[in-house]
Amino acid sequence: MKILPTDFDGQAIRRVYDESTETWWFSVIDMVQALTHTTYANRHWSDLKRKLAQDVGSETVNTF
């Protein structure tokens, strides 16, 4: 798979296209950065994953 960056609101978002399933995959860290304008997107995402894990029925999936 090839990483194909795209632009969202002036921020670069990494993405890949899986031809076998015809699905786009986007970098969560890049999306968090673009939406929150934080300089600590990795920390923001890890905090969010921890909070979601505490909620019953919520889960995250790491694919990369």
Q: What are phi and psi of 38, to 5 degrees?
A: -90, 155
Return the structure tokens found at 57. Answer: 């029925």
Return the structure tokens found at 27. Answer: 């970098």
User: Digits of tens for pLDDT over the chain (64 positions)?
Assistant: 677 888 888 888 999 998 899 999 999 899 888 888 888 888 988 888 888 888 766 666 565 5
Q: How high is the pLDDT of residue 25?
A: 92
Q: How high is the pLDDT of residue 13?
A: 92
Residue given tokens 């890890």 in the structure block: 46
Q: How high is the pLDDT of residue 55?
A: 78
Return the structure tokens found at 54. Answer: 């505490």
Q: What is the pTM of this model?
A: 0.67
